[in-house]
């Protein structure tokens, strides 16, 4: 036996991993799967329906179980752990995340897999409960009402412009002209405003002689305070 063999043997013995039984592995993966299913239903209920992706939601469950299995494998052997580090270092994910909350659920799923794989199921359960309570509570906090966008196409004249301004002032208190474009006797106006009665505003503008089209747009995106 050469010195190199002795060094390798002593190195591997000094860093030998934990010997896991089949029952322990099954229990860890079972708890990880249950928590992954819990994350699945939380994502289905809490996420916005516009951005909901069933495939992404299923991947959250699979990712938790796969991560847990990787942690179990790393614990069993130092050689496998070094190989995992090398293999995972070349993985690149380029899927665009549509909603920032998707990142929260993605990291939540990975964290549950890591924690359960380390044998700390109680921490994973406590983490899941705390994250659920915080997400639900913060989601119930009301936010400022998003402004609306008013688009008007009309004849380019001072009388029509004054009538439009008067109609807007009569139906809303806060408004700001964003764009004014004039071309071949026609003008296109875009306003940002806040109103509680969009129907009355649109009807008042449509009744003005010289106004051809009126569009009132709203969105459910970010709100500027």
pLDDT at residue 31 above 70?
Answer: yes
Q: What is the pLDDT of residue 222?
A: 52
85, 113, 140 - which closes a domain: 140
**What pLDDT is recorded for position 12?**
47
Q: Which domain holds residue 88?
A: 3-140
Condensed to tens digits (0 to 9), the pLDDT of residues 121-146 reads 899 999 999 999 998 888 887 666 66
Average pLDDT over every residue of 53-62: 88
Going by C-alpha positions, the residue among 207, 197, 152, 216 that lies closest to residue 179 is 152
How does residue 119 score in pLDDT terms, banded at 50, 70 and 90?
A: confident
Predicted pLDDT at 132: 92
Q: Are residues 39 and 55 in the same domain?
A: yes
Let me know if residue 222 belongs to a domain: no
pLDDT computed for residue 195 by the predictor: 81
pLDDT of residue 199: 84
If asked whether residues 52 and 135 sit together in one domain, one would say: yes
Which pLDDT band holds residue 6 (cuts at 50, 70, 90)? Answer: very low
Q: Which residues pair with 193 in a beta bridge?
A: 148, 175
Q: Are 127 and 204 members of one domain?
A: no
Contact 125, 172 (CB under 8 A): no
Residues 133 and 202 in one domain: no
Residues 35 and 102 in one domain: yes
From the list 76, 77, 38, 73, the residue with the least C-alpha distance to 57 is 38
| Of the listed ranges 35-44, 78-87, 149-158, 174-183, the one predicted with least confidence | 78-87
State residue 91's pLDDT score: 58
DSSP alpha helix (H) spans, 141-197: 158-171
| 225 within a domain of the structure (yes/no) | no
Q: Is residue 28 part of a domain?
A: yes
User: Is the model's pLDDT at 68 over the cut of 70?
Assistant: yes
pLDDT digits (tens, 9 = 90+) for 18-27: 677 888 888 8
Strands 148-155 and 174-183 come out as unpaired
Evaluate whether 132 touches 156 at the Cβ level (below 8 Å).
no
Residue 86 lies in a domain: yes
Its pTM stands at 0.61
CA angle, 11 as apex, 9 and 17 as ends, to 5°? 100
Q: Does one domain contain both 12 and 85?
A: yes
The answer to whether residues 99 and 196 belong to one domain is no
d(CA 135, CA 116) in angstroms, rounded, equals 22
Query: Of 102, 119, 140, which residue is a domain's last?
Result: 140
- On the question of pLDDT at 160 being above 90, the answer is no
The answer to whether the CB of 33 falls within 8 A of the CB of 61 is: yes
pLDDT of residue 126: 94
pLDDT value at residue 11: 43
Secondary structure of the chain: what % helix, strand, coil (to 5)? 60, 15, 25
The reported pLDDT for the residue numbered 99 is 74
3-state SS assignment for residue 177: strand
Q: Would 224 be classed as within a structural domain?
A: no
Count of structural domains, the chain = 2
Those residues whose C-beta lies under 8 Å from the C-beta of residue 206, and which sit 6 or more positions away, are 214
Domain final residue pick, 83, 115, 140: 140
Which residue, among 155, 147, 220, 216, has the nearest Cα to 185 in the 3D structure?
A: 155
């Amino acid at each position: 036996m050469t010195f190199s063999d002795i060094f390798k043997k002593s190195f591997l013995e000094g860093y030998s991993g934990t010997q896991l039984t089949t029952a322990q592995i099954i229990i860890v993966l079972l708890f990880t799967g249950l928590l992954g299913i819990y994350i699945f239903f939380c994502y289905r209920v809490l996420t916005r329906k516009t951005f909901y992706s069933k495939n992404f939601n299923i991947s959250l469950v699979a990712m938790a179980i796969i991560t847990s299995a990787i942690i179990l494998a790393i614990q069993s052997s130092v050689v496998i752990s070094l190989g995992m580090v090398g293999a995972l270092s070349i993985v690149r994910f380029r899927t665009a995340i549509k909603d920032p909350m998707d990142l929260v659920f993605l990291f939540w799923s990975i964290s549950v897999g890591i924690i359960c794989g380390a044998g700390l199921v109680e921490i994973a359960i406590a983490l899941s409960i705390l994250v659920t309570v915080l997400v639900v509570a913060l989601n119930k906090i009301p936010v400022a009402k998003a402004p609306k966008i008013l688009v008007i196409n009309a004849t380019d004249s001072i009388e029509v412009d004054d009538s439009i301004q008067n109609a807007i002032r009569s139906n809303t208190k806060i408004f700001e002209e964003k764009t004014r474009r004039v071309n071949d006797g026609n003008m296109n106006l875009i306003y940002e405003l806040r109103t509680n009665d969009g129907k009355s505003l649109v009807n008042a503008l449509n009744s003005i002689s010289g106004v051809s089209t009126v569009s009132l747009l709203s969105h459910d995106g970010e709100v500027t305070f």
